Amino acid sequence: MTEKFNKLTTEERYIILEKGTELPFSGVYNEHFAKGVYHCKQCDAPLYRSESKFSSHCGWPSFDDEIEGSVTRVLDADGRRIEILCANCGGHLGHVFEGERYTEKNTRHCVNSLSMRFRQSD
């Protein structure tokens, strides 16, 4: 059985499939703070709730917690950082950093806006 994924633009394929990074401060969700859920752009799996989003001023959307079971962590090809992937489809989201003390959870998921789709809730 073949899974059906959403059609991606050239830029989205670069980020999600080729593990690219969008330019800092360029993403639509960088300073976006509406109430809702962020989903994987490729497979629509829910990834992050808006309550876990915070402003880190790093240039990319930042979250201090993921929806349980939604994100997989793997050692990045550079051997120094931890890459985060959608646990459902394996699409590249960004990187996770710990110990920076931005929030009480002491975790920052640095996520490419192009890896996500936001669904607002009331």
**Among the listed residues 16, 84, 5, the one whose alpha carbon sits nearest the alpha carbon of residue 48:** 84
Q: Which amino acid, residue 48?
A: Y
Q: For residue 89, indicate whether it is catalytic.
A: no
Identified catalytic residue from 58, 86, 89, 110: 110
Q: Which amino acid, residue 53?
A: K
CA atoms of 74 and 96, how far apart (whole Å): 10
CB 112 within 8 A of CB 22: yes
- Residues 6+ positions from 2 with CB-CB distance below 8 Å: none
- Catalytic sites, residue numbers: 110
